[in-house]
Structure 1
Amino acid sequence: MLNIFARAPVSRLTDPVGAWLVRRGLSPNAVTVFGTVGTVVGALWLIPTGHLFLGAFVVTLFVLFDLLDGAMARANGGGTRFGAVLDSCCDRIADGALFAAITWYCFVLAEDTTLAALALVSLVSGQVISYVKARAEASGLNADGGLVERAERLTFGLVGVGLHGLGVPYVLPASLWLLAVLSVITVVQRLVAVYRSAKENAA
Structure 2
Amino acid sequence: MLRFLRPVIARMTLPLGRALARIGISANVVTLVGTFGAVAAALGLLPLGELYIGAVVVTVFVLFDMLDGAVARASGRESRWGAFLDSTLDRLTDAAVLCGLAVWFYTGGEDRLLGGLALYCMATGFAVSYIKARAEGLGVNCDVGVAERSERLIIALTATGLAGLGVPYVLAGGLWLLALLNTVTVGQRLIETRARLTEPGGPAGAGDRQPAGGAGGQG
TM-score normalized with structure 1 length: 0.95
Q: Aligned residues: percent identity?
A: 49
CA contact (8 A) 2:33 2:65 kept: no
Q: Does the Cα contact within 8 Å between 2:27 and 2:72 map onto a contact in 1?
A: yes
For 1:80, the equivalent position in structure 2 comes to: 79
Measure how far apart 1:66 and its partner are.
2.5
TM-fit CA distance, 1:199? 2.3
The residue aligned with 1:65 is: 64
Q: Can you list the C-alpha shifts for 1:35-71, whole angstroms capped at 9, x where unaligned?
A: 1110010000000001110000000000012210011
Matched, 1:90 2:89: yes
d(CA) in 1 for partners of 2:132, 2:73: 23
Deviation at 1:78, TM superposition (A): 5.3
Equivalents in 2 of 1:40, 1:195: separation in Å? Answer: 34
Q: Give the aligned partner of residue 161 of structure 2.
A: 162
Taking the aligned partners of 1:130 and 1:78, their CA distance within structure 2 comes to 25
Question: Aligned-pair distance for 1:196?
Answer: 1.4
- Counterparts of 2:49 and 2:200, CA distance in 1: 50
Question: SS where residue 109 of structure 1 aligns?
Answer: coil
Other-structure match for 1:136: 135
- Amino acid of the residue matched to residue 103 of structure 1? A
Residue pairs, 1:1-203, within 5 angstroms: 1-2=1-2, 4-77=3-76, 79-200=78-199, 202=201
One-letter amino acid of the structure 2 residue matched with residue 192 of structure 1: I
Match of 2:209 in 1: none
Query: TM-score, normalised to structure 2's length?
Result: 0.89
**Count of aligned positions:** 202
Q: Aligned partners of 1:19, 1:135: CA distance in 2, in Å?
A: 34
Question: d(CA) in 1 for partners of 2:102 and 2:201?
Answer: 42
**Aligned equivalents of 1:79 and 1:9: distance in 2?**
19
Residue pair 2:37, 2:58 contacting (<8 A) in 1 also? yes
Report how far residue 5 of structure 1 moved.
Answer: 2.1
Tell me which amino acid in the other structure corresponds to 2:124.
S
- Measure, in 2, the Cα distance between the counterparts of 1:128 and 1:74: 30
Return the alpha-carbon distance in structure 1 between the equivalents of residues 148 and 163 of structure 2: 23
CA distance in 2, matches of 1:62, 1:120: 22
Q: RMSD in angstroms over aligned alpha carbons?
A: 1.2
Residue identity in the other structure for 1:91: D
Tell me: CA distance 1:200–1:79, structure 2 relative to 1, closer, same or farther (3 Å): farther
Between the aligned partners of 1:17 and 1:167, the Cα distance in structure 2 is: 35
- Which shows bigger deviation, 52-61 or 14-23? 14-23
Aligned in 2, Cα 1:151/1:111: closer, same or farther, shift over 3 Å?
A: same
Query: Which protein shows a greater Rg?
Result: 2
* Residue identity in the other structure for 1:73: A
Separation in 1, partners of 2:137, 2:71: 25
Q: Secondary structure at the match of 1:167?
A: coil
1:117 to partner: Cα distance: 1.5
1:81-133 deviations in Å (ceiling 9; x for gaps): 21111111110111111110011112211111111111111101111111111
Partner amino acid for 2:54?
G
The answer to whether the 8 A contact 2:49-2:109 is kept is no
